[in-house]
Amino acid sequence: MCKVIAVSCSKGGVGKTTSAVNIGIGLAYSGKKVLLLDVDGQGDLSKSLGVENPESLDYTIARAMIAVANGEEADPREGIMTHMEGVDFLPANSKLSVLDKDLGSIPGSDTVLKDLVDCLKPDYDYIILDSKPAHVALSVNVLAASDYVLIPVLSEYLPCTDIEQTVLNVRLIQRRLNKDLKIGGIFFTMVDDRTLLSREVEKQIKEAYIGNVKIFDTKIPRSVRVAESSALGESIYRHDPHGKAAEAYKALTKEVLSYGQ
């Protein structure tokens, strides 16, 4: 059965998009059929998968969501693109930000994305959603559509109010919209074990959440190779297959594969 996983955190720049791409492609390398959804009007996921100018695209996730919301006959698969490393993806551009503003004023709009995801589930083992940092109508849609939430955390940043906020959002959506939503876990990104701050942040987060929210064993190291791979439109496995970041994302993918088993 298809598992829907959101990579979500209310803080920006923590590695959500990078992790969605590398977990998604990691799952595809493990033989799974994977769809990545770009649920951010910045189109960063689309760019990380090689779309040079998302603004030039006619058919994006916004159009698919509008079609589903209006009950149009259009095939929601129409805009799906395929990346050279074996994942499918539905791209986004600024039209999604426009839709985001409109969604707030439409009754019942919280589950438009869920309706789209439900149409696409039969074709995939995993659907991974890359979301925006802000608290907007789309973030509610993302959590309403998902089975699991993965929360990337920068290990260089205190206080941890963003994790708290993200966990509270999940709890709220669990109560109101999606009782099956689970926190898949917190994982540390851009880790530099050599810094005292990094170790201190990890210690505090573990103390605050252990026994309550899963904290992944795997930590993603800071590596310039990761940033390079996004700019080149490829995964870390292709760009630097033997590097530490590729090993870490492989291990994280394995942890994700164990969900529900």
List the beta strands (DSSP E) in the chain: 3-7, 34-39, 81-82, 88-90, 126-131, 148-154, 182-189
* Residue pointed to by tokens 């990579």: 7
Q: Establish if 44 lies at the interface with Mg ion (CB under 5 A).
A: yes
**From 27, 245, 246, 252, residue interacting with ligand ATP (rule: CB under 6 A):** 245
Q: Establish if 139 lies at the interface with ligand ATP (CB under 6 A).
A: no
Angle in degrees, 0-180, between the axes of helices 94-103 and 61-69, rounded to the nearest 10? 30
Q: Establish if 151 lies at the interface with ligand ATP (CB under 6 A).
A: no
The residues, ordered by sequence, that sit 6+ positions from 122 with a Cβ below 8 Å of its Cβ are 2
Q: Establish if 155 lies at the interface with ligand ATP (CB under 6 A).
A: no
**From 2, 5, 6, 17, residue interacting with ligand ATP (rule: CB under 6 A):** 17
Closest approach, Cβ 240 to ligand ATP, in A, equals 11
Closest approach, Cβ 226 to ligand ATP, in A, equals 4
In eight-state DSSP terms, residue 222 is P
**From 189, 218, 235, 253, residue interacting with ligand ATP (rule: CB under 6 A):** 189
Task: Give Cα separations from 198 to 86, 95, 113, 190, 238 (angstroms).
Answer: 34, 38, 36, 10, 28
**CB atoms < 10 A from the CB of 161, how many?**
11
Closest approach, Cβ 12 to ligand ATP, in A, equals 3
Query: CA–CA separation, 126 vs 71, rounded Å?
Result: 25
CA-based R_g, the chain, Å? 17
Q: Establish if 17 lies at the interface with Mg ion (CB under 5 A).
A: yes
**From 8, 18, 169, 253, residue interacting with ligand ATP (rule: CB under 6 A):** 18
**From 16, 47, 63, 95, residue interacting with Mg ion (rule: CB under 5 A):** 16
By CB under 5 A, name the binding residues for Mg ion: 16-17, 44
By CB under 6 A, name the binding residues for ligand ATP: 12-18, 40, 44, 133, 189-190, 220, 222-223, 226-227, 230, 245
